[in-house]
Structure 1
Amino acid sequence: MIPKPLHYFNEGLAFALELVALGALAWWGFHTGSGILVHLLLGLGAPAVMAWSWGMIAAPRAKYKIALPLVIVFKVLVFVLSSAAVYATGSHTFALVFGVVALLNTAVATADREAMTRQRDTQSD
């Protein structure tokens, strides 16, 4: 388990990365295809789909509770797709840095949550 200040920092970073993922999908959408209708559809639709699906299965108070490994797979998929979207707009360095930071953050958060769960379980025994 990581120290409390680092835990809070990592959780805050996770939220910031989720917001960046939304922005990345919007950025990609508004720069993909031709025509204002396509730009609006993708620029607003892609982040809306991400926000809705995240809220349904990955948010702390998600409507559908799924197994943690599936939540992690979902989060990794969202971050990889968001990074790929930014990469496709030509911002290669930002896309790579964002992807690496997001994946490291997800790994640290997962390990920290598992350690907290183990500690809670041993204290209740």
Structure 2
Amino acid sequence: MTVLKGANLALMFLLELGVLAGAAIWGFTLDANLIVRIIAGIGVPAVFVVVWALFAAGGGKNARYPLTGPWRALLEIVWFGGAAVLIGFACTALGGIVFFALWAINGALRLLWHQA
């Protein structure tokens, strides 16, 4: 069971990286001029990073203003859901759906196993 719990935490980390990658890909592939694409490709992931750092970093232990309970759940839904939408726009709708489904399964297992 310990291996599965560790794998679930590793998946959470990969999903967090996926949020940043999805936001960057969306920004860099916008149908706009080069300057807008560069600003969006760097700026949107930066906004995601700032939000996560302020409210959820390290399972809330390293966050400046840690959220818990339903507020943490809402943040994760918006954060990972927003990334799923951006992945859907930048790649395929199925990619966004799969990303969100992986997060939902990961979140359910984190709740079941009392992981941060």
Do the structures match in fold with TM over 0.5?
Answer: yes
Equivalent residue number for residue 57 of structure 1 = 55
CA deviation map 1:6-65 (0-9, x unaligned): 111100000000001100000011112411111011111111110111011111211112
Equivalent residue number for residue 80 of structure 1 = 81
TM norm structure 2: 0.88
Map 1:1-125; keep pairs closer than 5 Å: 3-60=1-58, 61-113=62-114
Aligned equivalents of 2:18, 2:66: Cα separation in 1: 24
How many Å apart are 1:66 and its aligned residue? 2.3
Q: Which runs of 5+ in 2 are unaligned?
A: none
Corresponding pairs, count? 113
State the identity %: 26
Q: Which runs of 5+ in 1 are unaligned?
A: 117-125
How many Å apart are 1:113 and its aligned residue? 1.6
Aligned equivalents of 1:29, 1:102: Cα separation in 2: 22
Could you tell which deviates more after superposition, 68-77 or 105-114?
105-114
Amino acid at match of 1:4: T
Amino acid at match of 2:52: W
* Rg larger for: 1
Amino acid at match of 1:75: E
Aligned equivalents of 1:37, 1:27: Cα separation in 2: 15
Task: Give the secondary-structure state (helix, strand or coil) at the position aligned to 1:113.
Answer: coil
Aligned equivalents of 2:66, 2:90: Cα separation in 1: 34
How many Å apart are 1:76 and its aligned residue? 1.4
Aligned equivalents of 1:17, 1:96: Cα separation in 2: 13
> In angstroms, what is the RMSD of aligned CA positions?
1.7
Aligned equivalents of 1:13, 1:20: Cα separation in 2: 10
Task: Give the secondary-structure state (helix, strand or coil) at the position aligned to 2:113.
Answer: helix
TM norm structure 1: 0.82
